[in-house]
Structure 1
Amino acid sequence: MSDPILAERVVDLLARRKAPAVDGHRETHTALTDTVTRRLRLMRLAAALDAFDTEPDSGPRRRALVDLLDRQFAQDPAFHETVAEMVRTVAPPDRGDERVAVRRAAVGVAAALAAVVLVIGARAAYVAVADGAESGGSMPCHTFWSLPEAEQRALLAELYRSRNEPLRATEPYIVASVLYSCGQNPDSTVGEIVSA
């Protein structure tokens, strides 16, 4: 029976075998290590274990050992059961970790959504404040320059109507004259330019 998860756990335990104690099950851990080592040496496949021992953090060497153990589990069900029992004794499955991981993922998603909502809300508030402040002619010239011509014309028409000058609002060169004046006085506002 193939069991890649068991093979991964065995390799994890083999990587920790040089630690002083493995969760209080030192004898079982030693027996597990000996069983796996004997099996691989008997099958003349110990080279993968030796390579793993030299560099336990190497991904390719770890993968090779996991694949080798998985094939051995598939070939010999008795070996599979023996090793599975030892692994359950040394490192019982941690169900708490799965719940913690799910909770962490949920908190991460909630935080990301909250950040997006906050950014959108802040942008909407800024636009509302900026539009309210700038619609009365307090728009700086550099902002007026960046608007499309249709918006510039609409803003000036509204500004002239609010000043009770509807004929000025329909002039064909109204935008060009304000842009020229803004170029001469870039620190001014559109309201100051229109009033001048």
Structure 2
Amino acid sequence: MNYLKNAPWLLVVSVLMCSGCGLFGKSKHEIYLDSERGKSLQVPPDLSSPLRRDAMQIAEGPSPKQSISDQPVSDIKPTADDITEKLFIDAEPALAFQRVREALEQAQIGTLGAIDEGARRIAIKVLVETTKKRKLRKDRTDRNSFDRVTVVVADGAKSRVLVEDPSGNPVDDAASKKILAAIRERVVD
């Protein structure tokens, strides 16, 4: 009697086990053989070689490689690191310096230090917050202050704003990007 009670379950389990073993379907080898019996591709006879057109021909004459000099260009000095953030202002350097100074005072992104109008340099201490995402714990926020110097220099008909460290080396970090973004936001040409 117990066999009849469990018969539907046994039937379902046996069907599930047999369906996964390939008993009810074609084997992979039979499928492969069926695919070989299919239609083969017919290649037209005019596709056996590429067409001869003028666009496919290589120009006769001296190779352009022979005209290139192997000597380096002496006028260009290579730089190892180029600053990615650049800010140009369409004004003479004295006027651009005043606009940059006003922009930094309005932005309040840090504490302004020594201002040298003759050299067009502004020292600024910038506070930068960085947030580190952590998986299982609360995110960590670090607050660091950086001493930077903003310099306005003539660059052709325009003025260029540079951000340097106190020793005069150009920098490209979060603090310099924050300074340039604040100036860019407030100095509209």
Q: State the TM-score, normalized to the length of structure 2.
A: 0.18
Identify the structure with the greater strand proportion. Answer: 2
Identify the structure with the greater helix proportion. Answer: 1
